[in-house]
Structure 1
Amino acid sequence: MSGKPYHDIPGTVLFDAEQSRKGFHLNQFCMSLMKAANREAFKADERAYLDRWPMSEEQKQAVLARDWNGMLALGGNIYFTAKIAATDGLSFRQIAAEMSGMSEDDYAAMMLAGGRSIEGARSKSEGR
């Protein structure tokens, strides 16, 4: 990663041009799931379907493990990776809760109360 100041925000992967390039094929795979035939092919043999895409092995493993945060770190865009969740029958709220390390009910309550508190470490350097 570059020395961009926004890379210092803890717990956050910002989707910028660098991440877009890194995750191009991962995101293209995700968008392919917009078509029912592709969703069926993916569900029938996930690994074989993933091997159709020139993604890194690390990206493929993140998809297979449904490592939502890992996919973002590897260049996935949350709106694209959510297509995998939808294919699995999961809601955005369910995966957001999982990504936050919270139960779905706790996540929903936090969001209804206005989201995460701004208190605490606001940069990675503050947490050291």
Structure 2
Amino acid sequence: MDQPGFDHHTHIPGTTLFDGKQAMKGYALNKMCYAFNKQEHREAFAADEEGFMEQYGLNEDHKQAIRDRDVLAMIAAGGNIYYLAKLTGIFKLSVQDVGGMQTGMTTEEFKQHLLDQA
């Protein structure tokens, strides 16, 4: 149910809205990332990234974003940050690293920005 006066398609600079269209676009990517809840799947991905991506039916945009370790491209390709968190963990990236990417700041700048908001 929509809230009065709320436009769910409002553009927020630097933000990709995760809506139904994005969910469908990123279904395979998010399904693969959900699998990383199990250690054996994280290990299988580390051993053969290409084969693991193929097993989940990722399209070329998904695969290239992963190859490039480009989290913003993963989000643009339909990745949900809650699922991507497992994948970014495999890449040794923190939530603050991703926040910095999304805001155009370094990780240290982003951390300071968060502290300044407190």
**TM-score interval w.r.t. the shorter chain?**
0.7 to 0.9
Pairwise CA distance, 1:35: 0.7
* Alignment coverage as a number of residue pairs: 112
Please state whether the residue corresponding to 1:10 is helix, strand or coil: coil
Whether the aligned pair in 2 keeps the contact of 1:7 and 1:13 (CA below 8 Å) is: no
Pairwise CA distance, 1:86: 1.1
Aligned to 1:28: 31
TM-score, reference length from structure 2:
0.85
Structure 2, unmatched stretches of 5+, are 1-6
Aligned to 2:11: 8
Pairwise CA distance, 1:88: 2.3
Please point out which of 31, 50, 54 is paired with 1:51. 54
Pairwise CA distance, 1:5: 6.2
Residue 60 in structure 1 maps to residue 60 in structure 2? no
Shift >4 Å, 4+ stretches: none
Please state whether the residue corresponding to 1:12 is helix, strand or coil: coil
Aligned to 1:86: 89
Pairwise CA distance, 1:7: 5.0
In 2, the alpha carbon distance for the partners of 1:7 and 1:61 equals: 28
What is the one-letter code of the residue matched to 1:11?
G
What is the one-letter code of the residue matched to 1:10?
P
